Amino acid sequence: WQKEQDAAAPPQKPSDEMINEMAKAKHLDPATGLPLAGVQDKTSAEPQPATLATRLPIGTVARTGERCPEDGVWCAALKEGQAGDSERRFLKGDTLPSIVVHESRALPLLDRVIGMRQQTTQVAWRLVSYLDQA
């Protein structure tokens, strides 16, 4: 395979005329490849196709037991003094779980001797990022 790799020639660079033609067809600036300024406003005003799924905004809240409305990373809202696995990834349609929270006692010595209190609690989950951005 090394001989084939060494024998392979890189493709020829397209002519400037070809680059300009392709950029014009896609409404891009040939020098940078970025969208042209006037075209960007025009395309955003066009209605989006109905088949294109719209995402829920970051910060959307769902509760334990509900179906996850969006693929992404969700963070559980814990009360002050609680600790737990508060950030998890869920796929759309998963049932949002309750979580085990650890609560410290008024006397920290008791936590070291007996251990921290644990309880399963229902929480509100907040969308913090999309899976393709995580």
pTM for the full model?
0.49
Which CA distances in Å does 57 have to 54, 72, 117?
Answer: 9, 11, 35
Is the domain of 81 the same as that of 123? Answer: yes
Is the domain of 65 the same as that of 35? Answer: no
Is the domain of 66 the same as that of 100? Answer: yes
Which domain range does residue 18 map to? 10-45
Percent of the chain with pLDDT over 90: 0
Total structural domains within the chain = 2
Question: For the chain, first and last CA: distance in Å?
Answer: 37
Per-residue pLDDT tens digits for 35-74: 887 655 544 545 444 333 577 888 888 888 899 888 888 8
Percent of the chain with pLDDT over 70: 77
Specify the higher pLDDT residue, 41 or 25. Answer: 25
Is the domain of 65 the same as that of 104? Answer: yes
Residue at 119 is within a domain: yes
Residue at 65 is within a domain: yes
Residue at 25 is within a domain: yes
